[in-house]
């Protein structure tokens, strides 16, 4: 679990810089048509990122790569890199030629002038996916060699690049062109860092291409592709529906999602990414005892952070949004709608966190078909609820639909795992809820006295202390594990 700490620390740095980037966006662009155009323009690169980087390909690559040794691993890596490089470069041709039509599909509710701007920006943002896909492959290799901090820190460079170009936006016409260029250059920087780390451990890009390796990748990549593509379609559906809620709808969703995704990425995704190589290895050598231990520790550790994060976001949504975004072009009214949207996203936080962990158990056993089925169900539920709720409740309805689909997905992927939890496991989870309840009571009782931004930061810090102190007093075992992570003990 030490690796989880390193991964979480680097992810925390990156995510905090991501929040700073979004706060800078809020200051210069607020909730606006320009920012809507930018967000729709990066939709396709992020959708493809889920396929070639964070999702399908990495789910196929890591379990297979951990089974390779010596020169075989080098050939396998080169084969994967060439496959990704050729595919992503070739895809740029239709994206460039048909950008107008793609934007028409992605943002059907956008005004005509916003669509034209989005089409122009899309041609600039696409190359991001080429470099970010190579970053993801390199990250999988480095993680399998127990190198976690560098790859997880790499997105921080991308965020820094975006921040610099937001500050320089007044030198571009239209202004949003600056951050768009920064977005793509950030992907280049992200890849260059992990490429340097790969060379340090003597992995080299070669001309080797093994069709047998490619076939083994595709056997897993195909089913995983369906699952990840369907899951990523949730974002496309949400954004498309948001374009119909009025100017700034896409911006509101994005601002709320960024805050919601901070605990999700730092804790759940960090634990899951550190867990997959371990589960894959335990599964390959048929060590069920170690497999189950890693899985249960990951579940309880994820909940140890996800549950109090949910309550914190529920009871401090207005204060947190105002703290991060309310300055410059971002108004008090923008804060109110963004905070309400964040509230409904927060409800699904523990469920999405567990779903992220449970999905990795299937991938570790080379099963990508069932997660794909679950993804189809989640997409269907989300799309139906989006239509039913968004046109009545606006962007808030979109957030609530996302939470409900996450709850359903968690139970579908984790039902058998949950049944296997022991009484001792449930006692530990109950203690997490008790400690979170004490923290929530403290927040509700005291937040009226913390009305300035500086005091809100103090309130958040005190709430964290109350939670950890409560966990200590009721004897939570996961408190000790989390402390061990920060002390880098194994």
Helix (H, G, I), strand (E, B) or coil at 206: coil
pTM of the model: 0.77
Nearest Cα to Cα of residue 362 among 372, 371, 353: 371
Helix (H, G, I), strand (E, B) or coil at 126: coil
Give the CA distances from residue 111 to residues 33, 116, 245, in Å, rounded to whole numbers and listed in that order: 9, 9, 12
Nearest Cα to Cα of residue 31 among 285, 457, 336, 389: 336
Q: Tell me the pLDDT of the chain (490 aa) as tens digits.
A: 555 566 667 777 887 898 899 999 999 999 889 999 999 999 888 877 777 666 666 666 666 766 666 666 777 778 888 888 888 899 999 999 999 999 998 888 888 899 999 999 999 999 999 998 888 888 878 877 778 788 888 889 999 999 999 999 999 999 999 999 999 999 999 999 988 888 887 776 666 666 776 777 777 666 666 666 666 777 788 888 998 888 888 999 989 988 998 887 776 666 666 665 666 667 666 667 777 777 787 888 888 989 999 999 999 999 999 999 999 899 999 999 999 999 999 999 999 888 888 887 787 776 767 887 888 899 899 999 999 999 889 999 999 999 999 999 999 988 888 888 888 889 989 999 999 999 999 999 998 888 777 788 999 999 999 999 999 999 887 777 666 655 444 4
Question: For 52, which DSSP code?
Answer: I
> What's the rounded Cα separation, in Å, for the pair 45 and 375?
20
Question: For 327, which DSSP code?
Answer: S
What is the per-residue pLDDT for 488? 47
What is the per-residue pLDDT for 406? 92
Nearest Cα to Cα of residue 54 among 18, 11, 116, 16: 11
What is the per-residue pLDDT for 420? 82
* DSSP letters for 227-283: HHHHHHHHHHHHHHHHGGG-TTHHHHHHHHHHHHHHHIIIIIIHHHHHHHHHHHHHH
**7: which 2 tokens?**
């991964």
CB 294 within 8 A of CB 252: no
**440: which 2 tokens?**
């929530």
Residue 173 CB neighbour total at 10 angstroms: 9
What is the per-residue pLDDT for 325? 92
CB 148 within 8 A of CB 3: yes
Helix (H, G, I), strand (E, B) or coil at 107: coil
């Amino acid at each position: 679990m030490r690796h989880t700490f390193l991964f979480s620390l680097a992810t925390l740095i990156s995510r905090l810089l991501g929040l700073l980037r979004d706060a800078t966006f809020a200051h210069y662009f607020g909730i606006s048509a320009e920012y809507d155009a930018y967000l729709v323009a990066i939709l396709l690169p992020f959708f493809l990122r889920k396929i070639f980087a964070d999702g399908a390909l990495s789910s196929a690559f890591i379990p297979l790569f951990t089974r390779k040794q010596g020169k075989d691993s080098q050939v396998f890596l080169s084969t994967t890199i060439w496959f990704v490089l050729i595919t992503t470069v070739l895809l740029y041709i239709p994206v460039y030629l048909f950008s107008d039509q793609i934007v028409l599909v992605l943002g059907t509710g956008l005004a005509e002038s916003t669509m034209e701007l989005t089409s122009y920006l899309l041609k600039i943002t696409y190359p991001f996916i080429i470099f970010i896909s190579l970053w993801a492959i390199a990250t999988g290799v480095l993680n399998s060699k127990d190198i976690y901090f560098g790859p997880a820190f790499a997105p921080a460079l991308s965020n820094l690049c975006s921040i610099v170009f937001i500050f320089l936006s007044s030198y571009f016409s239209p202004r949003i062109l600056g951050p768009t260029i920064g977005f793509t250059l950030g992907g280049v920087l992200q890849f260059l860092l992990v490429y340097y780390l790969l060379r340090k451990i003597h992995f080299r890009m070669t001309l080797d291409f093994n069709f047998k390796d490619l076939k083994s990748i595709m056997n897993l990549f195909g089913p995983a592709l369906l699952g990840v593509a369907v899951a990523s379609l949730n974002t496309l559906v949400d954004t498309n529906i948001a374009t119909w809620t009025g100017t700034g709808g896409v911006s509101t969703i994005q601002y709320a999602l960024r805050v919601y995704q901070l605990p999700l990425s730092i804790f759940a995704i960090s634990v899951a990414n550190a867990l997959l190589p371990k589960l894959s290895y335990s599964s390959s050598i048929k060590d069920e005892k170690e497999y189950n231990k890693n899985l249960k520790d990951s579940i309880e550790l994820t909940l140890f952070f996800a549950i109090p994060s949910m309550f914190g976001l529920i009871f401090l949504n207005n204060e947190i949004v105002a703290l991060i975004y309310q300055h410059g072009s971002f108004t008090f009214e923008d804060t109110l709608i963004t905070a309400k949207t964040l509230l409904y996203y927060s409800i699904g936080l523990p469920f999405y966190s567990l779903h992220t962990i449970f999905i990795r158990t299937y991938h570790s056993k080379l099963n990508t078909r069932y997660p794909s089925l679950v993804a189809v169900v989640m997409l269907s539920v989300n799309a139906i609820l989006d239509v039913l709720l968004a046109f009545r409740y606006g962007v808030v309805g979109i957030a609530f639909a996302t939470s409900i689909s996450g709850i359903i997905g968690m139970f579908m992927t984790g039902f058998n795992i949950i049944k296997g939890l022991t009484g001792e496991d449930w006692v530990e989870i109950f203690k997490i809820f008790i400690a979170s309840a004490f923290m929530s009571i403290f927040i509700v009782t005291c937040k009226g006295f913390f009305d300035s931004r500086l005091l809100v930061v103090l309130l958040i810090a005190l709430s964290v202390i109350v939670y950890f102190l409560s966990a200590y007093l009721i004897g939570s075992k996961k408190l000790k594990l989390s402390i061990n992570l920060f002390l880098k003990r194994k």
